[in-house]
Amino acid sequence: MANAYDEAHSLSLTDPAAFWGKAAEDIDWVKRWDKVLDDSNPPFYRWFVGGELNTCYNAVDRHVEAGHGDRTAIIHDSPITGTQRKISYAELKQLTASFAGALADQGVGKGDRVILYMPMVAEALVAMLACARLGAVHSVVFGGFAANELATRINDAKPKVVVAASCGLEPGRVIAYKPLLDEAIRVATHKPDRCIILQREQKQADMTAGRDVDWAEAVSNARPHDCVPVKATDPLYILYTSGTTGQPKGVVRDNGGHAVALKWTMKAIYNVEPGEVYWAASDVGWVVGHSYICYGPLLHGCTTVVFEGKPVGTPDAGTFWRVISEHKIPVLFTAPTAFRAIKKEDPNGEFLKKYDLSHFRTLFLAGERADPNTITWAQTQLQVPVIDHWWQTETGWAIAANCMGLEEFPVKLGSPTKAVPGWDVRTLDENRQEVPPGQIGALVCKLPLPPGTLPTLWNADDRFRQAYMDEYPGYYKTGDAGFVDEEGYVYVMTRTDDIINVAGHRLSTGAMEEVLANHPDVAECAVIGVHDDMKGQMPLGFLVLKAGVTKPHAEVVAEAVKMVRETIGPVAAFKKALVVGRLPKTRSGKILRGTMQKIADHQEYKMPATIDDPDILPEIEEALLEVGLAR
C-alpha cells in the first residue's frame, strides 16, 4: 500500500495544480487565484495567478483574529547581552503595523525596495513583516558582509529606504553597522532617500542630518498601517546570494507561492503544530532565516526563536541545550558546522546532562553536507532523529528531506533522504542523459519547480535562464553534483561551480579572486575551498606575483587577507594564501582548481590529460606542504 509520502509525492508531480491548490486552502486570500499554475511561458512559471493576499496578514494578523493574540510569536534570546524578550502575536501586530506606518511616512509603498542591514534582534523580523504589510520588497543583507557588498546590493535593488541597527554583536566585540552603512552609501551609485536606524545601547550611531531617522521616533510619530493586498506573483523579497562572479544574484521570492509552500512544509517536513516553538539557529541574512526564523513558523502560528549568539562561547557549548530546555523547543534546525563546533568543545556531551530535553523531538540539519560523524554524534547525544535536508537560497525550502509529518524513512548516512513532494530530482550526465541509479552526475530538477522557489532573478531574466535553465533544457540546474540510489535516496556530493561552503555560509571563490586580482603586486590568482574539520571548507588563495616584486611574501599575503576582509567581509573567513611561482593550467589556459583542491585535501588525483605543464603540480604540492596542507 502506498504510504503518505508516496501518495503526496506522486500527486504533486502528476497533478501539481490539485496538490498545491489544496495546500493553498491553508492561506487566507483576499482574492482567490484564477489558475494554480501558469506554465504558458517556460521557464518562467507562475503560481496562483490572479490571486491576491498579504503575507504579513497571514503571518501575524490572522492569528490574532483567530483568538491567538496572547500566544508568543517571537522569543528573542541573546546570551551575548544576557537578555530575553517575548513578543505576543497581538504585540507583533501592533509593532509591525506601526513600523509599516513609519516606512509609509518615508514614502515606501507597494513595490518599493527596502534594504535591511540588521543583526539578530526581533526588530529585524518586524521590519521584514512591515515591508510585507505594505507590499514593499525587502532585501536583507547579512551583517558579516562589508560595506562594498552592501553597496553592490544597494545599487542593484535601488532601495528607497535602508533600515539598519546601530550595531551588531559578535562574541567579545561590538560591530558598528552605521559606519559600514555610511561607507556603502558613499560608494554606491544609487542613494536611498532615508535610513531608519535602530539605536542599540551597546553602540549608538551618529546620525546624518536630513537623511537618517531614528527608529523609535519614526514609530512614535507613525499611524498603524493596514495590510495592503498584493498579487500572488508580486515579489515579497529579494535575497542576494553568491554566484560565480563578484556580482551576487538577486533571488526573487513571490508572495503567494511562498506562503503556500512554507506553511505546508511546517507540518509535512518538520512535523510541528501551531502553538509549538520552532527554532532555526541561523541568521536573518540567510535564506534559512527568511524561511524558518521569520515566515514559515509565523505563517503556521508557531513561536519562533531569534537567537543572538553562537553555538559555542556564548557562554559555552551548552547554550543550545539551555535554549531548547528553557523555551520547551521540540524542533531545532541548524547547520552541521554548529554541531561540529559543539562536539569539539564538549565531545562527551557533559553540558547536555545539565538540561531537561525530554520534550525535544527532532534535529534538522542543512546548509552543507552533513558528514556521517556529526550525524551519529548528534544522534547518540540527543537520542532523537537527526534529519539532514538539502536546499538552496534559490529553492527557499527543502528539495530533499525525510518528511517527518508524512512518512519517516530510515536514515541513510550521507543522504538527505528523498525528494520532497513538488520536486522531481534527476541525475544527468554531460550529454544531458539520465544516468542509472547510484551513478554520479549533475543533480537537476524537472520543471516546473514547486511554489515558493525563485520565479526569476531581480531585473535579470537572462541571467536567470543562463545560470539555471539553459544548460539542461526542461530542468533547473542545482549546481550540485551527486546521485540518487535505487530507493530514491538523494546524495549531494559537491558543487559543480566556484561556490564553496564555509561554516554553512555560501561564498564565491570567483568573488574572492576578483578582490585579490586588484592587489597591485598580484599578477594572477586562484582561490579554492579546502577541507576544514569544523567549518567544512575554508578558502585558500594562491598568488602569483608580478615580475620584479621584492616585497616579502608574508607582507603581500597579509595585505591580500585584509583586502578580502575589507571588501567582502569577515564572513568570507579568508585567512590563508600562498605565493606560488605559477598556477597549473590546461592548454587552453583554464586554472586547474579542482586538481589543486584534491592535492590540498589529500585526495587521489589523476594528472589531467589537458594540463599544460605537468611539472607545476609538484611545486603546488610543495607550497601546500609548507603551510601544513597536502601530504
The single residue among 390, 423, 464, 475 that binds ligand AMP, judged by CB under 6 A, is 390
Closest CA to 387 of 368, 413, 358, 406: 413
Is residue 388 near ligand AMP by the rule CB under 6 A? Answer: yes
* Contact indicator for 521, 545 with CB cutoff of 8 Å: yes
Residues 332-371 binding ligand AMP (CB under 6 A) are 366-370
For residue 193, give the C-alpha cell.
532617500
Is residue 250 near ligand AMP by the rule CB under 6 A? Answer: no
- Cell 524578550 sits at which residue? 85
d(CA 48, CA 420): 20
Closest CA to 364 of 303, 291, 301, 300: 291
- Among ligand AMP, ligand COA, none, the one that 506 touches (CB under a kind-dependent 5 to 8 A) is ligand AMP
d(CA 197, CA 341): 33
Is residue 570 near ligand COA by the rule CB under 6 A? Answer: yes
The nearer residue to ligand AMP, 185 or 239, going by C-beta atoms, is: 239
d(CA 112, CA 115): 10
For residue 595, give the C-alpha cell.
586538481
- Among ligand COA, ligand AMP, none, the one that 392 touches (CB under a kind-dependent 5 to 8 A) is ligand AMP
d(CA 357, CA 363): 12
Residue 68: count of CB within 10 angstroms of its CB:
17
The nearer residue to ligand AMP, 276 or 394, going by C-beta atoms, is: 394
- Cell 509525492 sits at which residue? 9
Interface region with ligand COA, contact rule CB under 6 A, candidates 262-270, 460-468, 496-504, 587-595: 496-504
Residues 452-481 binding ligand AMP (CB under 6 A) are 478-480
For residue 392, give the C-alpha cell.
538552496
d(CA 320, CA 292): 17
Is residue 341 near ligand COA by the rule CB under 6 A? Answer: yes
E strand segments, 485-605: 490-495, 499-502, 505-508, 522-532, 536-545, 576-579
* Contact indicator for 375, 415 with CB cutoff of 8 Å: no
Interface region with ligand AMP, contact rule CB under 6 A, candidates 65-73, 388-396, 469-477, 543-551: 388-396
Q: How far is the CB of 345 from ligand COA (least distance, A)?
A: 10
Closest CA to 559 of 580, 572, 538, 574: 574
Q: No. of H helices and E strands in the chain?
A: 20, 29
Is residue 442 near ligand COA by the rule CB under 6 A? Answer: no
Q: How far is the CB of 248 from ligand AMP (least distance, A)?
A: 11
The nearer residue to ligand AMP, 254 or 283, going by C-beta atoms, is: 283
- Among ligand COA, ligand AMP, none, the one that 368 touches (CB under a kind-dependent 5 to 8 A) is ligand AMP
Q: How far is the CB of 510 from ligand AMP (least distance, A)?
A: 15
Closest CA to 305 of 71, 125, 126, 74: 74
* Contact indicator for 78, 84 with CB cutoff of 8 Å: yes
Interface region with ligand COA, contact rule CB under 6 A, candidates 71-79, 154-162, 214-222, 278-286: 278-286
**Host H or E run for residue 96:** helix 89-105
d(CA 625, CA 282): 35
Q: Assign 450 to helix, strand or coil.
A: coil
- Among ligand AMP, ligand COA, none, the one that 212 touches (CB under a kind-dependent 5 to 8 A) is none
* Contact indicator for 337, 368 with CB cutoff of 8 Å: yes
The nearer residue to ligand AMP, 89 or 476, going by C-beta atoms, is: 476
Is residue 309 near ligand COA by the rule CB under 6 A? Answer: no
d(CA 40, CA 624): 53
Interface region with ligand COA, contact rule CB under 6 A, candidates 236-244, 283-291, 382-390, 419-427: 283-291
- Among ligand COA, ligand AMP, none, the one that 310 touches (CB under a kind-dependent 5 to 8 A) is ligand COA
Closest CA to 16 of 232, 257, 233, 254: 257
The partner residues of 197 in beta bridges, in order of sequence, read 164, 214
Residue ranges of the alpha helices (H) in 221-304?
A: 256-268, 287-289, 296-299
Q: How far is the CB of 168 from ligand COA (least distance, A)?
A: 5
Is residue 161 near ligand COA by the rule CB under 6 A? Answer: no
> Which DSSP state fits 457?
B
- Among ligand AMP, ligand COA, none, the one that 51 touches (CB under a kind-dependent 5 to 8 A) is none
The single residue among 192, 318, 330, 367 that binds ligand COA, judged by CB under 6 A, is 367
The single residue among 337, 415, 509, 597 that binds ligand COA, judged by CB under 6 A, is 337
Residue 439: count of CB within 10 angstroms of its CB:
12
Interface region with ligand COA, contact rule CB under 6 A, candidates 211-219, 310-318, 429-437, 524-532: 310-318
Q: How far is the CB of 565 from ligand AMP (least distance, A)?
A: 20
Count of chain residues binding ligand AMP (CB under 6 A): 21
For residue 250, give the C-alpha cell.
538577486
The nearer residue to ligand COA, 118 or 484, going by C-beta atoms, is: 118
Is residue 143 near ligand COA by the rule CB under 6 A? Answer: yes
The partner residues of 189 in beta bridges, in order of sequence, read none
The nearer residue to ligand AMP, 505 or 585, going by C-beta atoms, is: 505
The single residue among 164, 293, 571, 577 that binds ligand COA, judged by CB under 6 A, is 571
The nearer residue to ligand AMP, 478 or 567, going by C-beta atoms, is: 478
The single residue among 501, 508, 509, 567 that binds ligand AMP, judged by CB under 6 A, is 501
- Conformational region of residue 145, where left means phi above 0, alpha means psi within -120 to 50, and beta covers everything else: beta
Is residue 144 near ligand COA by the rule CB under 6 A? Answer: yes
Interface region with ligand AMP, contact rule CB under 6 A, candidates 130-138, 257-265, 387-395, 512-520: 387-395
The single residue among 46, 62, 160, 506 that binds ligand AMP, judged by CB under 6 A, is 506
The single residue among 160, 263, 389, 593 that binds ligand AMP, judged by CB under 6 A, is 389
- Non-local (6+) Cβ contacts of 275 within 8 A are 68, 71, 301, 302, 303
The partner residues of 418 in beta bridges, in order of sequence, read 489
Interface region with ligand COA, contact rule CB under 6 A, candidates 221-229, 335-343, 464-472, 556-564: 335-343
Q: How far is the CB of 361 from ligand COA (least distance, A)?
A: 19
The single residue among 78, 271, 393, 567 that binds ligand AMP, judged by CB under 6 A, is 393
Question: Which chain residues interact with ligand COA by CB under 6 A?
Answer: 143-144, 168, 170, 175, 282-283, 286, 288, 310-312, 334-335, 337-338, 341, 367, 502-505, 570-571, 573
Question: Which chain residues interact with ligand AMP by CB under 6 A?
Answer: 241, 287, 366-370, 388-393, 416, 478-480, 492, 495, 501, 506
